[in-house]
A and B are shown apart, each in its own frame.
Chain A
Amino acid sequence: MRTQKLIFLIMITSILAIAKNSEIRVKELYSPNYPIVTFRVMIETGSMNDPKGKEGLNALTILMLAQGGTKELTYREIQEKLYPWAARINYQFDKEVSVIIGEVHRDHVDKFYKIFSDLILNPRFDEQDFKRNKDLLLNYIRATIRSGNDEELGKQALVWFIYEDHPYHSPEFGTVQGLSNITLEDVKDFYKKYFTQGNIVFGIAGGYPKSLIGKIKKDFAKLPKGKPEPVQLPEPKKINGLEFLLIEKETRSTAISFGFPIAINRSHKDFYALMVANSYFGEHRTFNGILMQKIRGQRGLNYGDYSYIEHFVQDGGSTFPVPNIPRRQQYFSVWIRPVENKNRHFVLRQAIRELEILVKNGLSKEDFESTREFLLNYSKLWVQTLNRRLGYMMDSDWYGIEYFVDKVQKELRNLTVEDVNNAIRKYLNFENIKIVAVTKDAQSFMQDLISNKPSPITYVSPVSQSILDEDKIIQEYKLNARAENFKIIPVEEVFEK
């Protein structure tokens, strides 16, 4: 692999500049021949900053900027202007940071920048936009996630469950009651408090005119100086055995997610050892992982099974994560895609048993070598566009590390199989886990789990004896499920408050 060529993709210079009299940090990724210009404005504020009872305030504020108007132009007028350029304004909100993203062909970059920067610096805060954006978030909870996507519901509910009594508990998109309580005045106050010079990084990539950088620094210096006090994060609540949240819903299959907090993120050396272990166990949307091979490949029990060592949101139709969702505290998780209800007990046993095997046995030397080789090559594909590369650069700054993709290369090359297996033993476990299942007849699932009764499965065709032998062990695998560790809630209560 021509590493150097890959690293010096086109003609790239990157600079983190702080202007005189301006606290705005500008992250540049200049590539003069690249015709698309991307802006990524990161605000170091997220759902952890939502006041109690107003969950969703950060999300709604971001929407009021990215999907609202400016002092000069209404939302409609902005759409009219952007349309012939096919320019886009997108947004992301997470626990700790939020991002407003603009993309435009460089033919129109100056005019686009004026609108884009005005949205952030001179927002309109129109009452009608407020109503529409609030509806959008409420309907996302009520109609999209609760009603139309069991997998996403399970994954989001796991984070909600893992971080009880913690600033990360408030969902990124808010809660029904929280959103209902928010007024437009709340949004304006939130904006005033958090949109300050010290709290914003302006990322820019592509073939933009260099003069734009000075303008950005000057314009954004109009924001108040300073940076709000960061939210202190306590240790997440200790998990006591297997803790279950069963979401009762009329559904033809069961979506399962489980996990627990881990004490490290990208800034810690052990993260890279754990990255190898995780890739071996459940690399996202590949057949490399043990979970995928055993649950789907050998047994055809569902569509996919993956694991993660940090919060993961897939970027559109690709297999790669979106950048700019950094978190100080991360969690390990397993995503079991929907299984037939009759197999739910078996598959949960199987996944936790595989985790036990990983924790107890670790990786073999061969598995370690092949997984490391995979990641050394695969990680170079994470940044195929300048937009993504810029996002990764900004995340690296946020974590206070060198460029993440380079760091993966460096750290992985220095690893040994012992490092990986030590990290597994140190950070992963199979006994203290929070488990979420979206399922029908949750009560009977609970009884099955508590009773630890055998959960044999049947196949439509003969499978190998070795699989049948393993199934006998799995179907009796003991899960420490205690009645007092179960919560069953109807789907209507999820993200209600």
Chain B
Amino acid sequence: MKKITLMLMLLLSNLLFSQGKIFPFKINKVVLENGLTVLSVPFDSPGIIAYYTVVRAGSRNEVEPGKTGFAHFFEHMMFRGTEKYSEQVYNDILKRLGADSNAFTSADWTAYHIVASSDALETIIDIESDRFMNLKYTEEQFKTEAGAILGEYNKSASSPFLALYEKLQDLAFTTHTYKHTTIGFLKDILDMPNQYDYSLQFFDRYYRPENCAIVVVGDFDQRKLIDLIKKYYGKWKRGNFKPEIPVEPPQTEEKIGHIAWKGKTLPYLMIGYRIPEFSTKNVERAAIDFVAELLFSRTAPLYQKLVIEKQWVDFIQGDAPDRRDPFLFIITTRIKREDLIDSVKNEIFKAIEELKVKPVSKERLEKVKSYMRYSFAMSLDNPNSVAYIVGNYFQLTGDPESVNEIYSLYEKVTPQDIMKAVQKYFTKENRTIVTLTEEKK
């Protein structure tokens, strides 16, 4: 195995597309009879593995009113134990292993991740499979955890960013669950202690093998891994819930919001343009990822003008998060003076209009493609990052090969594709603008 991984590292070092694949490692894929997907990648990290359990449910799945923030709340409850391994015993086992263990929730997925010694593989499979199949917690434990969620909200509440995202998403969406952020609306968080029954339902719906994947990256034996997964997860029962995520109608007019911030702050400006969902086939969507680079990378004329020359803003960024349903291209900037907000806004709009009529040069496009390839390659330096990438593309499409497909699609993007995408999506009626400034006394 050592030899194989060394060869893989050499392959990575040349950074060529062999058969159109940017991901330099082979992804083994096995699907169990109950629908559980097992994705494994041998990686040169002697004695270490990263172990992810990917659940294809996030705040996007919070379809009932009053239940925002539940996917995230549920992530917390997963640490509250089972009959076999109580919360304390589960923690004690991880502690003994010296494992680095945590979890996160986003709009589309929830992931539970552990980095530990390869020797711990069976123990990890045992405790992880147990909690996914047999989670058990009392109403009291549930209510206590609701306090920790409020604490998590509170720790973020001092940042203007939470307020900006809340406002932007609330305005930009009328129907789809992307209307709320992952942590949820404060009023729903405050009501969480009363939602014990719903939490059980949430587990029953989404924590099912056909909705999950196990991702293992690092130093392990493939045959042994699959045998152990079958042994421990084999009895996990398939579910049948199909969430009906409301479809957002097209936006027809510009939306504008403002936040008066208590306390001192510099002004912030956030602009969201409605764009299509992640796709490995839709070249327009791929072209939008180039817009992020052409407008907001450090070499972009707009960035140079606003940050370096005029120095009107101290940062500006823009990108299109990969989402399963149509979401937003989000531009965020912090402006040095309130009287500059309109000027900054106009410069952003001017740069967007220019992209609609002036094709980007071939040379510039090649530089962006090169950046994207190298940036990806440099992210593959440890098993945890690799597992994250595999898990992320699995949750987006159900197939981790999407990582290779999307980078192949990027290679095909032309200056005309970019112009067309900007013309179509970066319009006035398709955008939402939120500003945040100090409250006037």
Closest to A375 in B: B98
Q: Is B250 an interface residue, CB under 8 A from the partner?
A: no
Q: Is A271 an interface residue, CB under 8 A from the partner?
A: no
Q: Give the interface segment out of B57-65, B113-121, B125-133, B278-286.
A: B113-121
Closest 8 CB pairs of A and B: A377-B98, A300-B147, A461-B143, A86-B374, A302-B151, A378-B98, A86-B375, A253-B154
Chain B's interface size range is: 35 or more
CA distance A412 to B93 in the complex (A): 20
Given the known A-B contacts A143-B334, A459-B143, are A384 and B382 also in contact in the complex, defined by CB atoms under 8 Å? yes
CA distance A114 to B15 in the complex (A): 22
Q: Which residues of B (294-351) have their CB < 8 Å from a CB of A?
A: 297-299, 304, 307-309, 311, 314, 334, 336
Q: Give the interface segment out of B45-53, B202-210, B404-412.
A: B45-53
Contact with A along B117-151 (1 / 0, CB 8 A): 11100000000000000000001101111111011
Residues A300 and B46 in contact, CB atoms below 8 Å apart: no
Contact with B along A270-299 (1 / 0, CB 8 A): 000000000000000111100000001111
Q: Is A339 an interface residue, CB under 8 A from the partner?
A: yes
B interface list, Cβ under 8 A from A: 6, 9-10, 12-15, 44-48, 79, 87, 91-92, 95-102, 115-119, 139-140, 142-148, 150-152, 154-155, 157-161, 193, 261-266, 297-299, 304, 307-309, 311, 314, 334, 336, 366-367, 370-375, 377-378, 381-384
Residues B382 and A385 in contact, CB atoms below 8 Å apart: yes
Shortest beta-carbon distance from B289 to chain A in Å: 14
Residues B374 and A85 in contact, CB atoms below 8 Å apart: yes
With a cutoff of 8 Å between Cβ atoms, the chain A residues found around residue B144 in the complex are: 297-300, 459, 461, 463
Given the known A-B contacts A76-B308, A250-B262, are A384 and B48 also in contact in the complex, defined by CB atoms under 8 Å? yes
Residues B46 and A35 in contact, CB atoms below 8 Å apart: no
Q: Give the interface segment out of A57-65, A101-109, A158-166, A445-453.
A: A101-109
With a cutoff of 8 Å between Cβ atoms, the chain B residues found around residue A340 in the complex are: 150, 154
Provide a sorted-by-A list of 16 A–B residue pairs whose CB atoms are within 8 angstroms.
A33-B13, A83-B367, A86-B372, A86-B373, A88-B378, A135-B336, A139-B334, A147-B264, A148-B158, A148-B160, A150-B155, A297-B87, A384-B382, A459-B143, A461-B140, A463-B140
Residues B47 and A1 in contact, CB atoms below 8 Å apart: yes
Q: Is A492 an interface residue, CB under 8 A from the partner?
A: yes
Shortest beta-carbon distance from A227 to chain B in Å: 33
Given the known A-B contacts A370-B96, A461-B140, A491-B263, are A84 and B9 also in contact in the complex, defined by CB atoms under 8 Å? no
Interface of B is mostly: helix
Residues A139 and B91 in contact, CB atoms below 8 Å apart: no
Residues B308 and A132 in contact, CB atoms below 8 Å apart: yes
In the complex, how many residues of chain A place their beta carbon closer than 8 angstroms to a beta carbon of chain B? 89
With a cutoff of 8 Å between Cβ atoms, the chain A residues found around residue B377 in the complex are: 35, 86, 105
Residues A285 and B311 in contact, CB atoms below 8 Å apart: no
The residue that B160 contacts in the complex, of A105, A147, A151, with Cβ under 8 A, is: A147
Residues A376 and B98 in contact, CB atoms below 8 Å apart: yes
The residue that B378 contacts in the complex, of A1, A105, A285, A302, with Cβ under 8 A, is: A105
Residues B155 and A338 in contact, CB atoms below 8 Å apart: yes
Residues A33 and B147 in contact, CB atoms below 8 Å apart: no
The residue that B148 contacts in the complex, of A131, A151, A296, A373, with Cβ under 8 A, is: A296
Shortest beta-carbon distance from A382 to chain B in Å: 9
Q: Give the interface segment out of A3-11, A19-27, A306-314, A429-437.
A: A3-11
Residues B263 and A250 in contact, CB atoms below 8 Å apart: yes
CA distance A249 to B158 in the complex (A): 10
CA distance A462 to B159 in the complex (A): 33
Q: Is A142 an interface residue, CB under 8 A from the partner?
A: yes
Residues B117 and A303 in contact, CB atoms below 8 Å apart: no
CA distance A128 to B305 in the complex (A): 12
Given the known A-B contacts A2-B119, A33-B13, A148-B159, are A249 and B263 also in contact in the complex, defined by CB atoms under 8 Å? yes
CA distance A103 to B377 in the complex (A): 12
Residues A83 and B378 in contact, CB atoms below 8 Å apart: no
CA distance A53 to B370 in the complex (A): 46
Residues B266 and A83 in contact, CB atoms below 8 Å apart: no
Residues B299 and A83 in contact, CB atoms below 8 Å apart: yes
Closest to B159 in A: A148
With a cutoff of 8 Å between Cβ atoms, the chain A residues found around residue B119 in the complex are: 1-2
Shortest beta-carbon distance from B183 to chain A in Å: 11
The residue that A6 contacts in the complex, of B47, B308, B367, with Cβ under 8 A, is: B47
With a cutoff of 8 Å between Cβ atoms, the chain A residues found around residue B46 in the complex are: 2, 5-6, 8-10
Q: Is A149 an interface residue, CB under 8 A from the partner?
A: yes
Given the known A-B contacts A76-B308, A149-B159, A384-B115, are A338 and B100 also in contact in the complex, defined by CB atoms under 8 Å? no
